[in-house]
């Protein structure tokens, strides 16, 4: 979509001509390749592409929206006409805003990349898949199936808005994941999973990254084969920095997204109040170099930044889009993101983390008489109203008298975000990242999260209780 500034102005002004305080054209062009090794061979190769544009007009708290997959000047003008008509019925049209000029904003580069995906042959991409496969083939004789997945996608976005800005950004999303299925002597199956991702070019797929993932996944599946059913009940839990930051993402992050605060999140009306242990500092950083959640500009054209959420246990603020920032009378923090041009932006996390503290990770384990050590977390979910969360444990161990003992399987951790933040009493001086795609309101967003090793004195572990029913 390369229209002239005059054409953009015409579309924006047309969309605002029946009222509305803000209008925006959002364009995207996405393409990507997926390669799947499964069942002993390169089984699937897929290429996908998507392009299109949308316009939204916002007045006070209300929004009207329309989109097209054929963003010509004529089609966008037609969308603007449709919105103008709806706006004339919904909005107060006493004063009409007119956009006079558009200025291209400077390029920012928190996610530099060297090798664009479309300059790399499929053969070279397949080579990366086979590197992982070959490492896994002889790793453990109990492994019966190997699945290795390569994925890349490049998303170019352009935002032209009634604030007079033209913003362009490009996001490159490489993902490498490995799954192994192993069988014990009794024919029971176990699954191990590990993945890594970023916002960078093809140079992401290094041998070191692939070697690390394959080692992780083998260790994880072996820990399950050789493990015991997890116990159920309340325990002291140590979350390793290797566990990733699922807990900070699920248990705390979502509740600090301003749209959810407006919907009654457990963190409402708590800015300036102590909500966590003094050892806890939490940020959501859109500028963390080349991380999966990093953006130069968000999908509303706002530059991203490092947003402090909790400082020494005090809640400092929320994450905002343009819409929520206006309602809170603050500036947007650059957290307005959307899955595609077909949907409206909502408040989303980027790279969310608990910052490192002062405790030695080994001392944290040594301090526990009996508890659970979580080395790898799985997926999770949260109820943002109450702050209750659940996440799976992909790799965990019993701690007894300060030492790691047998591994456990089938465990999950459940708790309440606020209560956990208050209760964390040891924070390690390390930091480990996890990556994922966060789902909210039916939209997926690439994110990462991170945390140091932490100790939670009391947390419910979901495991197996023996005996008859009550």
Partner 1 sequence: MTIKQILDKAIINLVNKGLKGQINVFSVENKIASFSNGKLEQLSEGEIGNVGIKVITKDGKTSTSSTNILTQEGIMQALEKAIDMVKYTQEDEANDISDDKEFTYIDWAFDMDTKDMNLNEVMKLAENLEKKAKNADERIKFVRGAEYETSLTRIYFVNTNGLYKNALFTNASSSVSLAAIEGEKSSFGFDFEVAQSVRLIDIDRIVKNSVEFAISGLNAEVLKSGRYDIIMSPFASANFIGTLVTPLSGENVYKGKSFLREKLNQEVANKKVTLIHDPMNGSAPIITSFDNEGTNTSRFNVIEKGILKTYLHNIYSANKFGAKPTGNAFSSVNSPNPSIGTINLHFIANETKKEILNVSKALYVTNIMGMHTTDPSSGRFSVQISGRVIENGEFVGSFRGMTLAGTLSELLNNLEAIGTDFKYFGPVSGSTMLIKDLSVGGK
Residue 398 in contact with partner 1, rule: CB under 8 A: no
What part of residues 281-320 is at the interface with partner 1 (CB under 8 A)? none
Question: Judged by CB under 8 A, which of 2, 6, 89, 138 binds partner 1?
Answer: 89
What part of residues 217-246 is at the interface with partner 1 (CB under 8 A)? 230, 232-234
- Sequence-separated (6 or more) residues with CB below 8 Å from residue 417: 250, 251, 252, 255, 266, 382, 387, 388, 389
Residue 166 in contact with partner 1, rule: CB under 8 A: no
- Sequence-separated (6 or more) residues with CB below 8 Å from residue 65: 54, 55, 56, 57, 83, 344
Binding part of the chain for partner 1, among 3-11, 13-21, 52-60, 299-307 by CB under 8 A, reads: 52-60
How many whole angstroms separate alpha carbon 13 and alpha carbon 19? 10
How many whole angstroms separate alpha carbon 58 and alpha carbon 76? 17
Answer yes or no: are the C-beta atoms of 209 and 176 closer than 8 Å: yes
How many whole angstroms separate alpha carbon 37 and alpha carbon 148? 5
How many whole angstroms separate alpha carbon 50 and alpha carbon 13? 27
Query: Nearer Cβ to partner 1, position 74 or 208?
Result: 74
Q: Least distance in Å: CB of 116 to partner 1?
A: 17
Query: Nearer Cβ to partner 1, position 329 or 401?
Result: 329
Both tokens of 237, joined, read 């839990």
Answer yes or no: are the C-beta atoms of 446 and 286 closer than 8 Å: no
Per-residue interface string for the shown chain with partner 1, residues 22-41, x marking contact by CB under 8 A: -------------x--xx-x
What part of residues 338-377 is at the interface with partner 1 (CB under 8 A)? 342, 344
What part of residues 427-446 is at the interface with partner 1 (CB under 8 A)? 441
Residue 122 in contact with partner 1, rule: CB under 8 A: yes
Residue 191 in contact with partner 1, rule: CB under 8 A: yes
User: How many residues interact with partner 1 (rule CB under 8 A)?
Assistant: 86
Could you tell me which of 303, 270, 139 has the C-alpha nearest to residue 210?
Answer: 139
Residue 51 in contact with partner 1, rule: CB under 8 A: yes
Residue 137 in contact with partner 1, rule: CB under 8 A: no
Residue 86 in contact with partner 1, rule: CB under 8 A: yes
Query: Nearer Cβ to partner 1, position 84 or 279?
Result: 84
Query: Nearer Cβ to partner 1, position 195 or 386?
Result: 386
Residue 260 in contact with partner 1, rule: CB under 8 A: yes
Reduced 3-state DSSP string for 297-323: ECCCCCECCEEEEEECCEECCCECCHH
Q: Least distance in Å: CB of 101 to partner 1?
A: 29
Question: Judged by CB under 8 A, which of 4, 88, 92, 188 binds partner 1?
Answer: 188
User: Taking the chain, what is the end-to-end CA distance rounded to the nearest angstrom?
Assistant: 65
**Residue at token pair 């949260």:** 382
Q: What is the bridge-based pairing of β-strands 432-440 and 443-451?
A: antiparallel
Residue 411 in contact with partner 1, rule: CB under 8 A: yes
Q: Least distance in Å: CB of 35 to partner 1?
A: 8
Residue 324 has what DSSP assignment? Answer: H
Residue 157 in contact with partner 1, rule: CB under 8 A: no
């Amino acid at each position: 979509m390369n229209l002239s500034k005059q054409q953009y102005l015409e579309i924006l002004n047309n969309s605002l001509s029946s009222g509305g305080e803000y209008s925006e054209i959002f364009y995207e062009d996405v393409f990507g390749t997926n390669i799947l090794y499964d069942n002993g061979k390169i089984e699937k190769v897929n290429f996908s592409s998507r392009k299109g544009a949308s316009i939204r007009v916002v007045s006070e708290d209300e929004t009207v929206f329309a989109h097209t997959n054929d963003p010509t000047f004529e089609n966008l003008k037609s969308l603007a006409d449709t919105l103008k008509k709806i706006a004339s019925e919904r909005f107060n049209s006493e004063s009409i805003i007119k956009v006079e000029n558009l200025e291209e904003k400077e390029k920012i580069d928190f996610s530099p990349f060297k090798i664009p995906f479309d300059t790399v042959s499929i053969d070279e991409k397949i080579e990366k898949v086979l590197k992982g496969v070959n490492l896994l083939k002889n790793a453990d004789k109990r492994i019966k199936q190997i699945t290795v997945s390569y994925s890349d996608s490049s998303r170019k976005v352009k935002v032209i808005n009634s604030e007079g800005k033209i913003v362009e950004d490009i996001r490159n999303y490489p993902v490498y994941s490995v799954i192994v299925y192993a069988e014990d002597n009794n024919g029971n199956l176990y699954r191990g999973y590990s993945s890594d991702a970023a916002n960078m070019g093809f140079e992401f797929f290094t041998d070191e990254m692939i070697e690390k993932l394959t080692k992780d996944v083998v260790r994880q599946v072996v820990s399950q084969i050789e493990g015991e059913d997890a116990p159920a009940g309340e325990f002291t839990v140590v979350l390793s920095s290797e566990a990733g930051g699922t807990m900070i993402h699920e248990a705390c992050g979502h509740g600090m997204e301003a749209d959810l605060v407006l919907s009654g999140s457990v963190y409402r009306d708590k800015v300036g109040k102590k909500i966590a242990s003094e050892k806890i500092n939490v940020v959501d950083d859109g500028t963390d170099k080349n991380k999966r959640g990093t953006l130069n500009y968000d999908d509303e054209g706002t530059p991203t930044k490092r947003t402090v959420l909790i400082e020494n246990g005090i809640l400092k603020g929320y994450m905002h889009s343009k819409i929520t920032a206006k309602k809170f009378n603050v500036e947007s923090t650059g957290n307005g993101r959307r899955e595609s041009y077909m949907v409206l932006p909502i408040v989303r996390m980027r790279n969310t983390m608990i910052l490192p503290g002062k405790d030695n990770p080994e001392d944290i384990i040594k301090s526990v008489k009996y508890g659970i050590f979580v080395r790898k977390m799985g997926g999770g979910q949260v109820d943002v109203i109450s702050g209750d969360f659940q996440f799976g444990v992909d790799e965990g161990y019993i701690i007894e008298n300060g030492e790691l003992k047998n591994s456990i399987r089938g465990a999950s951790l459940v708790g309440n975000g606020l209560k956990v933040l208050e209760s964390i009493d040891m924070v390690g001086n390390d930091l480990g990242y996890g990556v994922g795609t966060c789902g909210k309101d039916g939209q997926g967003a690439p994110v990462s999260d991170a945390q140091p090793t932490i100790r939670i004195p009391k947390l419910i572990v979901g495991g197996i209780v023996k005996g008859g029913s009550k």
